[in-house]
């Protein structure tokens, strides 16, 4: 525990050292990255101990009334801390080259200070054992993330993204206040104690607590109707910040929801079903929106929503298993969901790093201004390919393993559903839905990879692109290696999963009820050995095929020819399939939800003049729901304009009136 606290301290203070060092020398950024990595290593070392050796919660007196500084480590916290320390440390190294002090003198220092504070806040909230420490970490996270998103605040879109984010995160915090107040009312303490045995909440209170948690944490996680802040914030932040936000920060919503749900020994079945439904919506629509995007980082952000959906599907299954006392569903659902938390962190950070190195080299995020980058940036192309295969859930990489656990859980629940428990309804939808999500993700990444890395360069910048230096490629390589490792040897991560599942289900059974069965080990439910063998076989086949092709083509000089010129006499790179034309059929399929907008010219003459075509997919919830609602609210608020005259005397008079009313209040 002390090691984790030390790590939090080191990481949190990493950026401040740079404030004292002169700007020109450039030592500040190196000190910051070194401190961050040392802190991250400390944190990871603390997690290597077996879950039973984590020790009790650490309680220190605190000058804040009504609370004490109470932190602790269990399997669930450890599982969320691991990707946090790994990805943020790699991000700090990546940032050395990506956001150099010399290139960004106006925001470099600020970025490093708040990058460290963000990581420290995230770690603090994961180890918090009472509401106040949790809120402290939560607000550190929220405010630092705002200041990181607005690193390039001279651009209007960045400022707008930051404002939208800060609005959403404060709505979430408000819900959290209500949530913790209700929990305090039910349990009589601010500490996170099980609301089972002695301290009980009435079913209505418990239901409200759950809905508040779903709102607050769903907002942070970016689950579908609450995701409005996520795409623009991820797109506008510097790439290594996007990686931490997508890989770690939004997972705090998952952590919070899992933690709150773990406090209830026998939740009603509709909780799990609700989480499940939200997951289904986010999963399918998230990837559908992703297909329509033209901006590589925005597209990756929508994929985060999709993956949060997959994680929620598993969490919902685990919660249903808890309601119905089905330990094997808990193990498979929660196990798949938590493993996907790791996996998504790894491959999404890898993808954001790769996208960042593309941006770094070409200066654009627009898919249709890139192309042919595989020739100039082979390492980045390989890393992006690995990340893409992993995110689509294809073997032999890690995305497949977690989705495999989820498939097993869904199929098992179908097979064993009794007619009365309603489990089969969700279960019958879930496996096909997961398959649909995977297929759509595959289509989407085929589009991205094809448009960015294959074909001919569409612009001069894309033609001149080259791989970044080792500071950026090594972190990408480490993440790619981790993806492959989990894919090849999933048995390595099951101890961590079992520890987290045990911590999640270790609650006092309600009085009178039989003791809750401990969920079985994940490894005993899933044929992980076979998975490793098949993955190794697949890799061997791939390697063999590649070697064979290489041997066949060696020596034969490849002659550059056009693959497909459509009978046109003078083809140019701009005539390639664009990403939007590739995606059009799928976008049309989902037009009922995506509402794509196209501005097409009307062709009237036989030889039409120069004209332009443009299409884009706005965010439906933001543009069709939230923006009109806010506009109507602003219109309604004009009735109160007469109060705000801008006259100082009038304002002071309001204060005087308030004071008088309060004085005379009886």
Partner 1 sequence: MGNALDPLLVAVLLINFFSLGASRLRAVINGAAVQGIVLGGMVLLVHEQLSLRPMLVAGAAILLKGFVIPAMLMRAMRAAAIRREVEPLVGFIPSLLLGAAATGLSLVFAKTLPLAEQHRGLLLIPASLSTVLTGFLVLTTRRKAIMQVVGYLILENGIFILGLSLLEAMPFLVEIGVLLDLFVCVFVLGIMIHHISREFSSLDTGHLTALKE
Contact residues toward partner 1 (CB under 8 A) are: 644-649, 652-653, 655-656, 659, 663-664
- Compute the least distance from the CB of residue 641 to partner 1, in Å: 10
Q: Which of 133, 161, 342 is nearest to 241 (CA)?
A: 161
Which residue reads 């066949």 in tokens? 552
- Compute the least distance from the CB of residue 501 to partner 1, in Å: 52
Choose between 592 and 665: whose C-beta lies nearer to partner 1. Answer: 665
Choose between 513 and 656: whose C-beta lies nearer to partner 1. Answer: 656
- Compute the least distance from the CB of residue 663 to partner 1, in Å: 6
- Compute the least distance from the CB of residue 637 to partner 1, in Å: 13
Using an 8 Å Cβ cutoff, are 423 and 320 in contact? yes
- Compute the least distance from the CB of residue 171 to partner 1, in Å: 24
- Compute the least distance from the CB of residue 648 to partner 1, in Å: 5
- Compute the least distance from the CB of residue 66 to partner 1, in Å: 22
Choose between 611 and 648: whose C-beta lies nearer to partner 1. Answer: 648
Give 248-267 as a 3 state SS string: HHCHHHHHHHHHHHHCCCCC
Q: Quickly count: other Cβ atoms within 10 Å of residue 121's Cβ.
A: 26
- Compute the least distance from the CB of residue 628 to partner 1, in Å: 22
Choose between 629 and 659: whose C-beta lies nearer to partner 1. Answer: 659
- Compute the least distance from the CB of residue 645 to partner 1, in Å: 6
- Compute the least distance from the CB of residue 643 to partner 1, in Å: 12
Q: Which of 236, 392, 210 is nearest to 316 (CA)?
A: 210
Give 300-369 as a 3 state SS string: HHHHHHHHHHHHHHHHHHHHHHHHCCCHHHHHHHHHHHHHHHHHHHHHHHHHHHHHHHHHHHHCCCEHHH
Alpha-carbon distance 357 to 389, whole Å? 19
Choose between 61 and 646: whose C-beta lies nearer to partner 1. Answer: 646
Four-CA torsion 98, 100, 102, 104, nearest 10 degrees: 80
Q: Which of 406, 214, 424 is nearest to 329 (CA)?
A: 406
Choose between 603 and 637: whose C-beta lies nearer to partner 1. Answer: 637
Choose between 25 and 653: whose C-beta lies nearer to partner 1. Answer: 653
Q: Which residues contact 576 (CB under 8 A, 6 or more apart)?
A: 371, 455, 456, 458
For the chain, the distance separating the N- and C-terminal CA atoms, rounded to the nearest angstrom, is 51
Q: Which of 488, 234, 246 is nearest to 348 (CA)?
A: 246
- Compute the least distance from the CB of residue 156 to partner 1, in Å: 18
Q: Which residues contact 227 (CB under 8 A, 6 or more apart)?
A: 282, 286, 305, 621
User: What tokens appear for 56 in the block?
Assistant: 């009790």
Q: Within 13 Å of residue 12, how many CA atoms lie on the same side as its CB? A: 14
Q: Quickly count: other Cβ atoms within 10 Å of residue 417's Cβ.
A: 17
Choose between 52 and 638: whose C-beta lies nearer to partner 1. Answer: 638
Alpha-carbon distance 260 to 213, whole Å? 7
- Compute the least distance from the CB of residue 644 to partner 1, in Å: 7
Four-CA torsion 346, 347, 349, 350, nearest 10 degrees: 120
Q: Quickly count: other Cβ atoms within 10 Å of residue 523's Cβ.
A: 17
Angle at alpha carbon of residue 126, lines to 121 and 130, rounded to 5°:
100
Choose between 598 and 652: whose C-beta lies nearer to partner 1. Answer: 652
- Compute the least distance from the CB of residue 646 to partner 1, in Å: 3
Choose between 514 and 664: whose C-beta lies nearer to partner 1. Answer: 664
Percent of residues in the chain assigned helix, strand, coil, to nearest 5: 70, 5, 25
Q: Which residues contact 519 (CB under 8 A, 6 or more apart)?
A: 327, 328, 330, 331, 334, 501, 502, 505
Q: Which of 83, 74, 97, 100 is nearest to 40 (CA)?
A: 83
Q: Within 13 Å of residue 523, how many CA atoms lie on the same side as its CB? A: 13
Choose between 572 and 647: whose C-beta lies nearer to partner 1. Answer: 647
- Compute the least distance from the CB of residue 658 to partner 1, in Å: 11
Can you say how many angstroms the Cα of residue 264 is from the centroid of all Cα atoms in its chain? 26
Choose between 548 and 654: whose C-beta lies nearer to partner 1. Answer: 654
Choose between 557 and 662: whose C-beta lies nearer to partner 1. Answer: 662
Choose between 435 and 660: whose C-beta lies nearer to partner 1. Answer: 660
């Amino acid at each position: 525990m002390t090691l984790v606290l030390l790590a939090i301290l080191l990481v949190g203070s990493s950026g401040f050292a740079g404030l004292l060092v002169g700007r020109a020398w450039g030592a500040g950024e190196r000190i910051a990255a070194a401190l961050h990595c040392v802190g991250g290593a400390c944190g990871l070392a603390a997690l290597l101990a077996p879950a039973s050796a984590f020790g009790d919660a650490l309680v220190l007196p605190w000058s804040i009334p009504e609370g004490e500084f109470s932190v602790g480590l269990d399997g669930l916290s450890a599982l969320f801390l691991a990707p946090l320390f790994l990805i943020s440390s790699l991000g700090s190294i990546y940032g050395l080259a990506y956001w150099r002090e010399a290139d960004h003198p106006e925001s470099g220092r600020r970025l490093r200070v708040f990058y460290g504070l963000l990581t420290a806040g995230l770690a603090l909230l994961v180890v918090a054992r009472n509401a106040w420490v949790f809120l402290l970490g939560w607000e550190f996270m929220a405010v630092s993330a705002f200041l990181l998103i607005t690193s390039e605040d001279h651009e209007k879109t960045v400022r707008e993204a930051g404002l939208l984010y800060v609005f959403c995160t404060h709505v979430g915090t408000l819900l959290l206040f209500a949530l913790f107040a209700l929990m305090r009312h039910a349990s009589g303490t601010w500490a996170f104690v099980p609301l089972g045995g002695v301290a009980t909440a009435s079913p209505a209170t418990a239901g409200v607590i759950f809905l508040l948690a779903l709102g607050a944490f769903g907002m942070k996680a970016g689950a579908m109707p609450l995701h409005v802040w996520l795409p623009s914030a991820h797109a506008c932040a510097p790439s290594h910040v996007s990686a931490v936000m997508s890989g770690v920060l939004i997972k705090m919503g998952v952590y919070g929801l899992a933690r709150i749900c773990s406090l209830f020994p026998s939740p009603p079945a509709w909780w799990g079903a609700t989480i499940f439904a939200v997951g289904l919506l986010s999963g399918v629509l998230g990837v559908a929106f992703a297909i329509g995007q033209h901006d590589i980082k925005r597209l990756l952000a929508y994929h985060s929503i999709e993956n949060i959906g997959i994680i929620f599907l598993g969490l919902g299954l685990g919660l249903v298993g808890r309601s119905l006392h089905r330990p094997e569903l808990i193990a498979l659902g929660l196990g798949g969901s938590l493993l996907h938390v790791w996996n998504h962190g790894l491959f999404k950070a890898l993808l954001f790093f790769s996208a960042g190195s593309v941006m770094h080299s070409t200066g654009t995020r627009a898919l249709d201004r890139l192309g042919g980058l595989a020739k100039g940036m082979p390492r980045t192309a390989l890393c992006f390919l690995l990340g893409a295969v992993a995110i689509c859930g294809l073997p032999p990489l890690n995305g497949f393993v977690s989705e495999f656990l989820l498939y097993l859980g869904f199929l098992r629940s179908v097979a064993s559903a009794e007619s009365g428990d309603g489990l089969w309804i969700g279960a019958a939808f879930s496996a096909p839905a997961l398959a649909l999500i995977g297929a759509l993700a595959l289509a989407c990444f085929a589009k991205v990879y094809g448009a960015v890395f294959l074909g001919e360069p569409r612009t001069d910048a894309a033609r001149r692109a080259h791989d970044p230096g080792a500071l950026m490629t090594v972190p990408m390589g480490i993440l790619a290696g981790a993806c492959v490792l989990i894919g090849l040897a999933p048995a390595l991560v099951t101890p961590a999963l079992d520890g987290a599942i045990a911590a999640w289900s270790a609650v006092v059974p309600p009085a009178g009820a039989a003791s809750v069965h401990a969920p079985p080990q994940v490894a005993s439910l899933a044929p992980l050995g076979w998975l490793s063998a098949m993955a190794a076989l697949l890799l061997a086949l791939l390697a063999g095929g590649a070697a064979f092709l290489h041997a066949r083509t060696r020596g034969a000089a490849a002659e550059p020819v056009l693959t497909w010129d459509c009978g046109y006499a003078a083809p140019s790179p701009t005539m390639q399939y664009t990403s939007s034309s590739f995606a059009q059929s799928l976008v049309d399929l989902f037009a009922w939800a995506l509402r794509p907008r196209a501005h097409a010219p009307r062709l009237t003459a036989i030889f039409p003049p120069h004209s332009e075509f443009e299409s884009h997919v706005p965010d439906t919830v933001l543009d069709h729901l939230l923006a009109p609602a806010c506009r109507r609210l602003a219109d309604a608020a004009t009735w109160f304009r007469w109060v705000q005259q801008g006259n100082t005397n009038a304002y002071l008079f309001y204060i005087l009136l308030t004071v008088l009313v309060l004085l005379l209040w009886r």
